[in-house]
Amino acid sequence: MKSFLTLGPLLFNWDIKKIREFYFKIADEAPIECVYLGEIVCSKRAPFLEPVLQELTERLKQAGKEVIYSTSVLIESDKELENSRTRVQAWANGLVEANDMAAIHFLLGKPHCIGPYINVYNEEALLYLTEQGAIRVTLPFELPQTSIAALSQAQNRANLELQVFGRQPLAISARCAHARAYGLHKHNCQLICGQDLDGMAVLTLNQQPFLVVNGLQTLSYTYCNLIRELTELQNLGVSYFRLSPHHTHMVEVAHVFRNVLDQKYEGEEGYRRLQALLPEASFSNGFYKSEAGYVNRGKG
């Protein structure tokens, strides 16, 4: 089975100049087959991405990449709901990835993708969504290997995708902790989250790095890194491998993953190369290993 490398939606609030440069570089240089676009964390940021969405899409498609529109994680107001509906209906470039039940309702009966924010924990949920038109399902972040194995054995026509690189989204709130930390209110937040390109570090009171906050979203401080588990995941039947965009050498990161998927070198060698590329990052694979998410376990 062929293995595809994908780039998940950008979670952080980068300025448009940086976003354009980032995706142009991805288009030109990254061995990635599919890119997810869309502001999924905060509806206040969406108007900034909107004007360049089509340009980015065309650029990526010209480079031979599939482009999928990714919807909001948390929809509350009717305005957010209608914006989401309009964007989904206006998307004429291919598939849409649903990250909320409302988006699934818009997409019923049409081929679509299910994002990792939809709770697909078991075979029945997977089969139900497949019957409704899901053709690719990105599994929730906290699923262990045992669940992934069981899901991949379900009589299922949808392809399975899993995030294998990047900080892991852990929670979403109606309240903005990012604004709160800067003494601001959500309704007058000045889009302060734009200051922290990979999220705002959250330390424990004894200075231990713990989480990062990205607007309404809370992520892991550690970077999920499943490069040593890639071959096992391929054997289980997972065929799409998601990298989550960070303010780092993403093109080089993609090459390392591509090389391990293509068995140019082993996962352990890939892991060493990622350590060299991101010397400041702590990696984790705890969720996959049925442990606390922050844990990082080698072989044996």
Partner 1 sequence: MCVPTQSAETRKYIKLFIQSAIVMNTPSLELVCPAGTPAALKDAVDHGADAVYVGFRNETNARNFPGLNFSADELAEGITYAHAKSCKVFVAINTFARAGASHLWHQALFDAERLKVDAVILADLGLLHYCHRTYPNLRKHLSVQASASNVESIRFYQKAFNVKRMVLPRVLTVSEIANIYHKTHAELEVFAFGGLCVMAEGRCALSSYATGKSPNTSGVCSPASHVHYEKQGEKLISKLGEFTINVFESHESAGYPTLCKGRFIANGKPLYLFEEPVSLNTISILDKLKAAGVCAIKIEGRQRGRAYVAEVVRSFRAALDNPEGSLLIPATQLSTISEGQTETVGSYERGWR
Q: Is 282 in the site for partner 1 (CB under 8 A)?
A: no
Q: Which of 240, 241, 287, 288 binds partner 1 (CB under 8 A)?
A: 287
- The torsion region of residue 181 among left (phi > 0), alpha (psi -120 to 50) and beta comes to alpha
> Which residues, in sequence order, are CB contacts of 256 under 8 Å at separation 6+?
227, 270, 273, 274, 277
Please, what is the minimum distance in Å from the beta carbon of residue 170 to partner 1? Answer: 5
Q: Is 290 in the site for partner 1 (CB under 8 A)?
A: yes
Please, what is the minimum distance in Å from the beta carbon of residue 17 to partner 1? Answer: 25
Token pair in block for residue 83 = 């914006």
Sites for partner 1 among residues 40-79 (CB under 8 A) = 73-78
* Cα gap 101→11, rounded to integer Å: 20
Stretch of 40-48, 213-221, 238-246, 272-280 contacting partner 1, by CB under 8 A: 213-221
Closest CA to 65 of 114, 4, 1: 4
* Cα gap 11→39, rounded to integer Å: 7
Q: Which of 151, 162, 193, 254 binds partner 1 (CB under 8 A)?
A: 151
Taking residues 79 to 118 in sequence order and writing x for each that binds partner 1 by CB under 8 A, - otherwise, the string is -xx---x--------------xxx-xxx----------x-
Token pair in block for residue 130 = 């497949």
Alpha helices in 222-278 (DSSP H): 230-236, 250-261, 267-277
CB atoms under 10 Å from CB of 218, counted, come to: 20
* Cα gap 224→284, rounded to integer Å: 5
Q: How many residues bind partner 1 (CB under 8 A)?
A: 74
Q: Which of 204, 298, 299, 300 binds partner 1 (CB under 8 A)?
A: 204
Please, what is the minimum distance in Å from the beta carbon of residue 101 to partner 1? Answer: 4
Stretch of 29-37, 53-61, 141-149, 236-244 contacting partner 1, by CB under 8 A: 141-149
* Cα gap 26→193, rounded to integer Å: 24
* Cα gap 32→215, rounded to integer Å: 27
Please, what is the minimum distance in Å from the beta carbon of residue 122 to partner 1? Answer: 4
Sites for partner 1 among residues 174-203 (CB under 8 A) = 174-177, 180-182, 185-187, 200-203
Token pair in block for residue 192 = 């302060």
Closest CA to 45 of 96, 83, 85, 101: 83
Q: Which of 2, 188, 279, 292 binds partner 1 (CB under 8 A)?
A: 292
Please, what is the minimum distance in Å from the beta carbon of residue 259 to partner 1? Answer: 29
Q: Is 155 in the site for partner 1 (CB under 8 A)?
A: no
Please, what is the minimum distance in Å from the beta carbon of residue 233 to partner 1? Answer: 15
Residue number with CB closer to partner 1 (224 or 250): 224
Residue number with CB closer to partner 1 (30 or 104): 104
* Cα gap 251→230, rounded to integer Å: 18
